[in-house]
Amino acid sequence: MKRLLIICLLVLAPVLCLAQKYGVRTNIIGMATGSLNLEASLALSNKWTLHLPVSYNPFVVRDNIKVKHLMTQPGARWWFWHSYAGLFIGAQAIGGKYNIAVTDYRYQGWAAGMGVSSGYAWMVTSKWNIEAEVGAGGWYSEYDKYQRPLCGEYEGSFKRILYGPTRASISLMFIF
Amino acid sequence: MQKYLTVLFLIVLLSACNNNLSRLSKHNPSLGLSHAQNTESNYNIDLSRDAKFTSKSFKYTDTSGKEKFINDAVKDEVTGEMVSMVYLNEIVVSAKSQNIPERNGVIRLDFIVKIPSILQDSRWQIDMLPVLSRGKDTMHFNRILISGEEFKRAQEKGYKKYEKYLRSIIPDDVDFLEVYTDLPNLVLFLERNLPESRVMAGERDDDLITAFGVTEKSAVDHYVKQWLIDRNNKRKAEKEKYFYKYVKNPYLLGTKLDSVIQMGNGDFAYHYSQEILTNDKSSKLFLNLYGQVRDINGMCFELNTSDTIAYNVSSMVGFIDTTTRYKKKIIERKATATMAAFIDFKVGKTDIIDTLSNNAIELEKIKKALKDVLSNEVFVLDSLILTASSSPEGAFALNQSLSSQRASSIQKYCEAYIKGLDEEIVSYELGTKNEIQKTSPLSEVNSLIIQKTIPEDWDRLRILILNDTTLTNKEKLLECFKIQDLDERERAMSSYKREYKYLREKIYPQLRRVNFTFNLHRKGMVKDTIHTTEIDSLYMNGLVLLKDRKYEDALAILLDYKDFNTAIAHISLGHDRSAEEILLSCPETAYKIYLMAVLSARKGDEEQAVKFFLRSKELNFSMAYRGGLDPEISSLIRKYNLNKDLFE
């Protein structure tokens, strides 16, 4: 609850915040697989940071193979030593819509859920970090299943709770 | 089944390989210790304890009471008769002790150490320690170390391992931040979060705090590799433990011999020579050898102590002449004491004024001297001679009368003082009569005072002029002394204005004096001299030191006496020439001639030495045996067979 409040404050008045640290980062693996992503983060104290990543993938590979999605995973991290340095654990809320066709089927729908993650941040220079993170979680999803080819057959609608990995990233972060 | 067999076989195999120290305990070896050859040995007759043959003989008393002896019997080959035979025990002769001389306060011990081949192994080190006992003291000599090649190599390897360990310890003078912190990350962290920090430059500011409340100290502490600090400290603390772990056989210092030999080439022998200083317990010395064998792994096997060998030390101390010495003291009956007092008088006056110049002090001096003499317990006053003299100024006739009057006034002064000593104990004797009369001392003592005057003390003036160091023109002044008329003389001298001024100021006052001569004699003594004897304790102390073989100290005392015992001290220290000088003037005794023989032998004059030795034997036959103890004489005895009459 408190955190929600802080998010609101953050959105409303960045001027209120004094010597805070901000960071933006991008997931290189994601970029390599065509998911444009950007994450903004904010350090609240020496132990807590808030994050708001957004990931958008509009690309179609070929033969209608795609991992289109628009997703956000707002969350917070707790750092063992200090914000933006060292080991951390985080928790996120997941939300977004997707249109994925990798196997013989295409799934299109939306998902919302939660995940936990953990990772490590290496300080490269005073302004740049390289981070690695993995996470898993669960989400509720409503989706339609089609045959993969374009305008493929409709297979059905589903409403499920799914579990799986939610994050696997190696990212480059800029802190200012 | 097969598994057990292989295990058993391995055990047997391992135990068979007893190339280790434990095999020594089976054989019980010991080191060999013997006297060095080429030196005189004393042979001791030693009866062997277990006889090979036991002689059976027993008594039988028959019914009539006669005793019969039953023995072993053999047939005599020549006569064919049965002859009784008794087996004697074996007699073993061994060299047990050795006679060595002591020269110049030093004894030289020689012995041979032998390491049997059973103790030798390339992986072992043999450590031998000779121990000398004399009286109750023991003295450890420097040890001998004999190592095998493998042992030495293993020893060195151990040290190298330890050195490597030492090198792994981070020294104290390194830059703390560089070595003990995760420096790159610390730098980045501080740049990012605490840019004002000057830690890199060496300044710590504990008040600095990041925006999020992280102090500089906690930031630095986070990046400090505490585990490394702890590990380093642990290594530093455990240095000694690791030393003993790696270096199982440390290098031993203070060795006489420390060498690596090729093991297994038979017995190893080493001639050990050591000089020790003599002390009063040096007549019999015993030497033992203790040994240990160490192997590569640091195991140690203690060897049996070797046989003891003995040394008999002969010295010149046996010749000391121990008769008591007395000092002669001559006590005279008569004694004389003199004293001079400088009393100043006013010009032309004869009365004593105690406030004038130094008079007070001088009068006190006189009074004290009188009191001391008159109250003395040992001496008695015979007479007191007062001699008053004046300086030459003025006419002789005037000086004469003035001097005698002044002398009288001084005498009166003394008489008055002596009167005042009435209450005190005054002892005196009248004349030289045998009876001691103790009467009132007043007038009698005053009658002992004799008065003399020297009106113008020219003689003393002459001496003072001669001895004076600052006076110039002495010859001219002394020339004036040729003038017979004293007043003329004075006029002549006064013509030398400057010198005369000096004379009047500095020298003339010394001529105005009163001389007191006390003639005394010892109370109760009638004879003129008495001779007494008392024990010369200094000399006797010197003899005690000599007997204790403290030659230097003894010589310091005995040096001036220059008698036979001094000669002994000189000989023991090697001062042959001084000894000879003294001995030549000593009376002819067997000892003296024997010592002359020793000195001649030392000089190299063999003929003289032999002659002296034979003559000393004539005077005292036991000198023949003494000759065997001193190497100078014993070599002559052997060479010329001088002691053949011992065996006749």
Residue-range domain boundaries for chain A: 22-94+112-139+167-175
Helix intervals (H) in B495-585: 497-502, 508-511, 537-547, 551-558, 564-573, 576-584
- Do B550 and B525 share a domain, yes or no? no
| Nearest-CB residue to B192 (from A18, A19, A175) | A175
**Chain B interface residues facing chain A, Cβ-Cβ under 8 Å?**
185, 188-189, 191-193, 210-214, 219, 222
Please give the DSSP secondary-structure letter assigned to residue B87.
P
Q: Which helix (H) or strand (E) holds B409?
A: helix B396-420
Q: How close is the nearest chain B Cα to the Cα of A129, in Å?
A: 10
Q: What is the pTM of this model?
A: 0.56
| Nearest-CB residue to B188 (from A21, A81, A123) | A123
Query: How far is residue B42's CA from residue B19's CA, in Å, rounded to a whole number?
Result: 41
- Do B335 and B484 share a domain, yes or no? yes
Amino acid letter, B335:
A
Tokens of B390: 């004046």
Rounded (10°) CA dihedral B422, B426, B430, B434: 140
Q: How far is CA A160 from CA A1, A110, A138, A143, A163, in A?
A: 27, 11, 10, 8, 10
| Nearest-CB residue to B210 (from A46, A123, A124) | A46
- Do B347 and B395 share a domain, yes or no? yes
User: Which chain A residue has its CA at the smallest distance from B187's CA?
Assistant: A126
Q: Which residue has the higher pLDDT, B163 or B264?
A: B163
**Tens-place pLDDT, residues B498-522:** 888 888 888 787 777 788 888 888 8
Total domain count, chain B: 3
CATH number belonging to domain A22-94+112-139+167-175: 2.40.160.20
- Do B471 and B555 share a domain, yes or no? no
At residue B56 the predicted structure's pLDDT band, cuts being 50, 70 and 90, is low
**Tens-place pLDDT, residues B575-618:** 888 888 888 888 888 888 998 998 898 888 889 899 999 898 88
Domain boundary among B507, B529, B551: B529
Best residue in B212, B221, B222 to probe A by mutation, most A CBs within 10 Å? B212
Domain-located, residue B80: yes
Q: How close is the nearest chain B Cα to the Cα of A118, in Å?
A: 21
Domain-located, residue B366: yes
Domain-located, residue B125: no
Helix axis angle, B564-573 to B551-558, nearest 10°:
140
Best residue in A18, A42, A45, A46 to probe B by mutation, most B CBs within 10 Å? A46
**Tens-place pLDDT, residues B359-402:** 888 888 888 888 887 777 788 788 888 888 877 777 788 888 88
- Do B517 and B541 share a domain, yes or no? no
ipTM rounded to 2 decimals: 0.81
Domain boundary among B529, B563, B582: B529
The domain in which residue B72 lies consists of: 57-88
Q: So what's the pLDDT on residue A88?
A: 95
**Chain A interface residues facing chain B, Cβ-Cβ under 8 Å?**
18-21, 43, 45-47, 81-85, 123-127, 175
B482 CB-near residues (< 8 Å, 6+ apart) = none
- Do B563 and B596 share a domain, yes or no? yes
Does position B427 have pLDDT exceeding 60, yes or no?
no
Q: How close is the nearest chain B Cα to the Cα of A173, in Å?
A: 13
| Nearest-CB residue to A45 (from B189, B212, B219) | B212
**Percent of all residues in chain B with a pLDDT value above 70, rounded to a whole number:** 90
Please list the pLDDT of chain A residue by residue as tens digits (176 residues).
677 766 665 665 443 344 568 999 999 998 988 889 999 999 988 899 999 999 999 988 888 888 899 999 999 999 999 888 889 999 999 999 999 888 888 899 999 999 999 999 999 998 899 999 999 999 999 999 988 888 888 888 999 999 999 999 999 999 88
Q: So what's the pLDDT on residue A89?
A: 95
Q: Indicate yes or no: CB of A84 within 8 angstroms of CB of B192.
A: yes
| Nearest-CB residue to B213 (from A46, A123, A126) | A46
Residues in chain A with CB shorter than 8 Å from the CB of B188 are 123-126
- Do B393 and B474 share a domain, yes or no? yes
- Do B614 and B516 share a domain, yes or no? no
| Nearest-CB residue to B185 (from A18, A45, A123) | A123
- Do B479 and B434 share a domain, yes or no? yes
Task: Provide φ and ψ at B108, rounded to 5°.
Answer: -110, 120
Domain-located, residue B465: yes
Residues in chain B with CB shorter than 8 Å from the CB of A83 are 212
Contact by Cβ (8 Å): B267, B116: yes
Provide the CATH number for the domain around residue B570. Answer: 1.25.40.10
Domain-located, residue B175: no
- Do B516 and B382 share a domain, yes or no? yes
Q: How far is CA B492 from CA A113, B205, B399, B400, B459, in A?
A: 149, 103, 18, 20, 17
Provide the CATH number for the domain around residue B416. Answer: 3.30.1330.60
Tokens of B529: 């001299």
Please give the DSSP secondary-structure letter assigned to residue B305.
P
**Tens-place pLDDT, residues B127-141:** 999 999 988 889 999
User: Which chain A residue has its CA at the smallest distance from B222's CA?
Assistant: A81
Nearest to B362 by CA among B343, B376, B380: B343
Domain-located, residue B454: yes
Best residue in A80, A123, A124, A174 to probe B by mutation, most B CBs within 10 Å? A123
Query: How far is residue B120's CA from residue B181's CA, in Å, rounded to a whole number?
Result: 55
- Do B510 and B389 share a domain, yes or no? yes
- Do B348 and B491 share a domain, yes or no? yes
Please give the DSSP secondary-structure letter assigned to residue A92.
E
Nearest to A79 by CA among B225, B181, B189: B189
At residue B50 the predicted structure's pLDDT band, cuts being 50, 70 and 90, is very low
